[in-house]
Amino acid sequence: MSSPNKDAEYSLNMETKYLHDLHLDEEVLFSIEVTVTRKWAETTSDNRVHGMNLIFVDKYDNRKHCWVPVECLNTVANRLTEGNSYILNKFSVQPFLQNDRCFDDELHLVLNDNSIVTPIDSSSAGIPKDVFHFTNMRNLSNPASEITYLIDVVGIIEDLKPLETVDGPNLYEKHFYHQFYLTDLIHRVRVRFWDGFALQFQKILRNNVNNPPILTISSCKVIKNEYTGEITMRNVKATRLFINYHSDVETNLRKSTDVSVTLFDDFAKQFEDAIKNLGSGNKFVIISSAKIGKFQGDVNLTNYPATRFYINPDHHAVRKLQKRAEKNNFLAEKEVIPTQVEIVAIDDMSIADIKNMNKEGKVGCKVTVKKIKEDLNWFCYMCTKCNLELDLIDGRYKCSECGRFFPWPQKRFRLFVLCTDKTGALPLVLGDREIRRLTGKMVFDVELDLTEEEDGKFPPVLKNMLNKEYGFTILVNEENILKNSEVYEVCDVQINVDESDENAADVQQISEDAEDDQILDEMHVETETSRNKPKKMAKKKQEEKINAGGGKPKQHTSGSKEKIIKIKKVRIIRNWKGVSNSGDAWKGINILLLDDKNFRMHAFVPGKIFEEQETKLKDGNICIFSNFTIKEYDSSEKFRCVNHDKQIILTNYTQIEKIDKEDGLIQKNMFDFYDLNQLETIADKNLYLTDVVGIIENDTPIADLVNRFGKKQKQIKFNIVDGRASVNVCFWDAMAEKFNDALEDIEEFPTIIIIASAKITSWQPARQNSKQYEIANVTATKFYINYDDRSVVALRKMYSQGKFSKYNFVNHVKPKNETITVSDLKKLPVEFVEKEVICKIKVKKVLETGAWFRYHCTSCYKTIELKNGNLKCYRCYDRNVPEPDLRWEISILGEDATGDIDILLLDREIRTVFNLAVMDFDEEVIKCPNVPQIIKALENQHFAVRVKIMEPNVLKQMNTYYSTGIYAFPKEDLRPEDEMLTPHSTIPSTMTQESGPSYHIEDFSDPNLKSPEVDKRPRRKKKLTKKYCD
């Protein structure tokens, strides 16, 4: 056999095809990229292995069986692992007609000793791990002899029987099986799983948390009883099972298990009154003569004049449902019963009494602040995940618990004070929430208020607390009692001790122990719908929940009624539409909540509820939520916008109270920034989304492309840098268009962007050792340009200090420079280096330089060179770029009354004027060194050109000036300078029409006519040929 390196090189140089391209007995001179989705041994009756079976899938959901003979097991089969991806070469395609094959396919692959198996990265291959072709249950009534292959089915599990044992054909041989029925709500079929497969099914079902359980069985055998005609499905060696797999069929089936009902007017009131008169427990209703419709794509029942309802009637269908409801796998939500708010009293004590306490708890105390420890830092850096203080290691902040670096860590107040009353003195530490309540400011706000002289000193605003009296709620914990710690923690503050009890509720003086008054990080699952019991609280949490009057933690009742779950005021900081796994129309709204402890939590709002509460659920609103469900994320739920294992689900019972008064304790927004240097640790995992911040570099114009499925998409690429690393960013479709529009309104340089809830991906460039990482958008992603955040302020300060001197940032700010003449432009002093000015010129001539475009790398977007016949990017480690970007570089000679000037128009400027990309021309035009004749339409036209002054221009070392913006105008109609068009087009829209023969030079005689923006231009069916360019 050849060496692995030679095999890998051979595989990479072969043409790649797909499974549907394979034909019988053809000479295989190509390779295929596949994932091994299944692997099992073929054995004889005496359990001897005589070969290996595999199922391959490719990126287009094609499936193919593969056979490895016994003599190739060690050389080939052992190199193939289930779930991994490979490139295969040197195999044969042969007939495959045996019974019980995994699917209806008459061809399969056969590997041999000469077959080449090259592993590839599964995440970058884009191949699904499992592919199903489901058989409709109604088709199973056909004679079993007609089904000579194994099938895939999906359905809801019903009538599950206990494990049964039967005797085998031989003495002392025992077998056991699980029997149940699988239904698609119309048809149902019996299923029997045998022996080890039955135990595997039993274990998976035991761990299921979703109801009803929906089972996907892949490659099961269909057997028909010759006497009764009953169909049974059973497992074979190739069979695999998946529970709640979230395929499109499973999603549609789950939606069919429940139907929304909307009743109107008097009929709705009658139903509400009837429900109120019933006790607790499940309620069964028969709705007769209901009208069936669709709302937001879901089936919905409404009332009609003939409609009637019957609650808990004596009917055989109701009795059947009641019997099913007694089983554990029947979906039943708890009834939400409002209960009276429980207020936990807090005793007031003196300082002397607090020091003598011998048990943990919370107490109130009226004290006067006598001294503030100014020598200790008044804030600390905290990990947003672990809530621990960060360590400073080599100039970077790192969490010792999770090991993560924080480029812009959260700053939180921590103030040490000495307080007194008539009985003594007590050292106290005030946390972030308490200081924010006293000052009405965040740490960031306090830092902004500091003058240059005060920078680095103790803030004067914090000294205002001296000699003032406050009512503090003090936590007496284990450290104070058992370890004699003299410093006590303040967990609540009352600004004015003379406030009445009624006002105390407004400032949240009521203890957080009350069940109806929770904060986001205290949420835990309490509903049966998630199939999870409430988690036990950690010991530390229990200790914090002990009040001053007793030594036991408060117990939660386990009855059938659920108490109101209510959270304190939270701000809605972001919302986005929710879509199904199949990409169907939106099913609801996702919102991100932030409380006054800087804790974020995701909540889902079903579409019907959002329509009713839309005015309250807007970004920036502060609300109080009560009566909702708390659900743990399913393991398959990815792209979570926060690092939390739970989410809030709003229901029809949910009450939302909008607070009109602004609350300064809750930030306007909050981000959990990831260090750009650490993105490799989370790339392609896709469990959590990521927040990043950086300065925009190397942005490219928005582009149109067609993906591998033939769908048109829009794309815009750029880089962001944070002083430590530079990372690629790619926005798609609506996000790309929104970002492109936002660049038109930039008012400050450099352009700093925050990207919230982004996806991190990676790919392995050919012939490179290191991976490339990219930030991309998903539905939850949102960007903020030059946002009012301390990370943006810090980056702007770093830029002003010259820490980004090696980067060439794009200036998106529309210039307000006054127009200067060509003569004055050439006399500009060195102070104008890197600045931009505007010149109004007439294009005297389009110059022939022998090159009217440049090749650019598709990864770093820099120009690339031709080496040994290959286009290589030295910045990407001499990477071969087989399909580079082609970008305009047109040299013109411009003139005004004072002289002439050479100007280089780059890709953005040419596409601004002509609405054409280099790739819009056919290959014959591109190979020609002469500038296309269409571009000569620039000659004798008047333009305002924004020119960037480079150092070689000032030192007279370079006579060519680079343009960064352009617009056209008639000679007699000079526009104001601030109307610079970037990237709007000014050439007639006839340039962008699809019909090639309509292009004529005379169409460009008036460049003052506007055409669509570059990103709006339609796809051209035909390339521009030399016929229209000469």
Task: Tell me whether domains 351-378+414-506 and 822-1028 share a fold.
Answer: yes
Residue predicted with more confidence, 336 or 794:
794
- Which range has the worst mean pLDDT, 1-15, 481-495, 647-661, 781-795? 1-15
Single-letter code of the amino acid located at 955: L
- Which range has the worst mean pLDDT, 574-583, 699-708, 859-868, 937-946? 574-583
Return the CATH superfamily for domain 520-534+564-659: Nucleic acid-binding proteins (2.40.50.140)
- What are the beta bridge partners of residue 775? 729, 760
pLDDT for res 26: 67
Fold of 4-125: OB fold (Dihydrolipoamide Acetyltransferase, E2P) (2.40.50)
Q: pLDDT category, 830, cuts 50, 70, 90?
A: confident
CATH code for the part of the protein at 676-800: 2.40.50.140
- Which range has the worst mean pLDDT, 5-14, 403-412, 897-906? 5-14
Question: What would the pLDDT profile of 747-783 be if each residue is shown by its tens digit?
Answer: 888 899 999 999 998 887 766 677 888 999 998 999 9
pLDDT for res 843: 92
CATH code for the part of the protein at 139-255: 2.40.50.140
Q: pLDDT category, 378, cuts 50, 70, 90?
A: confident
Q: pLDDT category, 693, cuts 50, 70, 90?
A: very high
pLDDT for res 755: 94
- Which range has the worst mean pLDDT, 377-381, 482-486, 521-525? 521-525
Return the CATH superfamily for domain 351-378+414-506: Nucleic acid-binding proteins (2.40.50.140)
User: Is 822-1028 CATH 2.40.37.10?
Assistant: no
pLDDT for res 504: 32
pLDDT for res 991: 33
pLDDT for res 519: 56
Model confidence at 88: pLDDT above 50: yes
Cis peptide before 212 (omega within 30 of 0): yes
Please give the average per-residue pLDDT across 806-824, as a whole number.
77
Please give the average per-residue pLDDT across 323-347, as a whole number.
53
Model confidence at 561: pLDDT above 70: no
Range with top average pLDDT, 150-159, 164-173, 326-335, 703-712: 150-159
- Which range has the worst mean pLDDT, 235-249, 556-570, 665-679? 556-570
Residue predicted with more confidence, 758 or 187:
758
1010 burial (CB, 10 Å; 0-12 / 13-18 / 19+) is middle
- Which range has the worst mean pLDDT, 141-145, 317-321, 699-703, 742-746? 141-145
Model confidence at 336: pLDDT above 90: no
Query: Positive or negative CA dihedral for 750, 751, 754, 758?
Result: negative
DSSP string, 954-1011: HTTS--EEEEEEEEE--TT-PPPGGG--SS-B-S-GGGG-S-GGG--GGGGS-TTS-B
- Which range has the worst mean pLDDT, 199-208, 321-330, 439-448, 608-617? 321-330
Q: Where are the domains of the chain?
A: 4-125, 139-255, 260-332, 351-378+414-506, 520-534+564-659, 676-800, 822-1028
Average pLDDT, the chain: 77
CA distance 220 to 152: 7
479, 512, 707, 528: which is closest to 597 by C-alpha?
Answer: 512
pLDDT for res 584: 52
Please give the average per-residue pLDDT across 156-171, as a whole number.
81
Q: What percent of the chain has pLDDT over 70?
A: 79
Question: What would the pLDDT profile of 883-940 be if each residue is shown by its tens digit?
Answer: 788 898 999 999 999 999 999 999 888 888 888 888 888 888 888 888 998 888 899 9
Model confidence at 542: pLDDT above 60: no
pLDDT for res 292: 82
Q: Is the distance from CB of 876 to CB of 823 less than 8 angstroms?
A: no
pLDDT for res 829: 84
- SS3 assignment, position 336: strand
Question: What would the pLDDT profile of 645-656 be if each residue is shown by its tens digit?
Answer: 888 888 887 888
Question: What would the pLDDT profile of 282-302 be if each residue is shown by its tens digit?
Answer: 778 888 888 887 655 567 788
Those residues with Cβ within 8 angstroms of residue 424's Cβ, 6 or more apart along the chain or in another chain: 350, 351, 352, 355
pLDDT for res 892: 92
Model confidence at 55: pLDDT above 70: yes
Range with top average pLDDT, 394-408, 604-618, 999-1013: 604-618
Number of H helices, E strands in the chain: 19, 55
Please give the average per-residue pLDDT across 725-748, as a whole number.
88
pLDDT for res 293: 77
Helices (H), 789-856: 790-800, 822-826
CA distance 190 to 1026: 69
Question: What would the pLDDT profile of 978-1015 be if each residue is shown by its tens digit?
Answer: 333 333 333 333 333 332 322 332 333 333 333 333 33
Residue predicted with more confidence, 62 or 187:
62
Model confidence at 581: pLDDT above 80: no
Please give the average per-residue pLDDT across 596-614, as a whole number.
85
Task: Classify residue 744 by its DSSP letter.
Answer: G
* Residue 622 structure tokens: 């502060």
DSSP string, 912-949: HHH---GGGB-HHHHH-SSPPGGGGGGTT-EEEEEEEP
